[in-house]
Amino acid sequence: MKKFLTPRFPEDHKGVFGHALIVAGSRGMMGAALLAAKSCLKSGVGLVSLGIPKSFEATAVSFVPEALTVGLDETLAGSISRRAFKQIERARQKRNFDVLAIGPGLSQNPETGECLRLILEMDIPSILDADALNLMALSSAKFSPIMKKRKSPSILTPHAGEMARCLGIPLSKAMLERSSCAHRLAEKFNATVIFKGHPSLITGDGKEAANSSGNTGLSRGGSGDVLTGLVCGLWAQNLSSRRLKGVGAFETAVLGAYLHGFAGDLAEQELTPYAMTSQDLISFFPEAFKTLCRK
């Protein structure tokens, strides 16, 4: 997996390592957006922009000062409104994002779903997680054709519940038939899929891998948001630097899933699976990267 990590040279600058956009958060779920942004920043990416409801913009800056922000119009419920699409489009023209991640803490507001639909019609590599997947499941007939037509690659990161909703099947079936479900979702939405679980399964481009890292300490709120941010940052570096020939969405998903789980293993050793948190997980990224780079 070291081959999937973007190499670095002394003359490099932040522009080499990409600009990631994370669209996330709503009233009551801003923590998910902040965890994704912190994780992305810790991945090695050059720049991160955080697109969030504008009323939370000042708060976000105090928690992730390294991130740029895009304050977005919001609904009465405090989620991203349909009008936010135009603001995201203008920000993209100005900042030239390499990768978009959308979903953590987004809410399932129907107007937010309309914004998601418009965003997915943009030509940009995208990672869809959490409420982005839930919104797609609620309007599968609307989203499936959009995903099929997309020219840019996509990575989906469902847990078992989101998988079941996206495929319209019982949760028990999603848990028992994990490999076939991952393949079905990848085909349905023309995407690479990281099906979170034990083990996490990565499917896409006619390939499949089972992740060897991870433990029960990852079974807590926020862990998936951390994974989304990490994969987003790794992918932005790959696409912007253009140094990894033959390394696409599938390989980046494999690398992200492994590093996420390995950081969890390191956290478990020091903190136990009971006392580790999703924020702790990010703090173990440096040791995970160091170990991978030494191999």
204-253 pLDDT, tens digit per residue, is 999 999 999 999 999 999 999 999 999 999 999 999 999 999 999 999 99
Residue type, 149: K
Average pLDDT over residues 250-257: 98
Question: What's the predicted TM-score (pTM) here?
Answer: 0.98
- Cα Rg, the chain, nearest whole Å: 17
Who's near 79: CB < 8 A, 6+ residues apart? 26, 27, 53, 106, 107, 109, 111, 112
Could you tell me if residue 6 is inside a domain? Answer: no
pLDDT of 203 above 90: yes
Could you tell me if residue 129 is inside a domain? Answer: yes
Summary mean pLDDT of the chain = 97
pLDDT of 290 above 80: yes
Number of separate domains in the chain: 1
Residue given tokens 């959009």 in the structure block: 146
Write the CATH number for 164: 3.40.1190.20
Could you tell me if residue 274 is inside a domain? Answer: yes
Separation between Cα atoms, residue 46 and residue 252, nearest integer Å = 17
Share of the chain above pLDDT 70, in %: 100
* pLDDT on residue 295: 73
* pLDDT on residue 55: 97
Average pLDDT over residues 62-85: 97
Could you tell me if residue 2 is inside a domain? Answer: no
Share of the chain above pLDDT 90, in %: 99
Q: Which domain holds residue 137?
A: 12-294
DSSP secondary structure string, 245-282? TT--HHHHHHHHHHHHHHHHHHHHHHHHHHH--HHHHH
92 — pLDDT class (breaks 50, 70, 90) = very high
pLDDT of 22 above 90: yes
Could you tell me if residue 7 is inside a domain? Answer: no
Could you tell me if residue 259 is inside a domain? Answer: yes
Could you tell me if residue 74 is inside a domain? Answer: yes
Average pLDDT over residues 104-118: 98
131-138 and 110-120 helices, crossing angle to 10° = 100
pLDDT of 183 above 80: yes
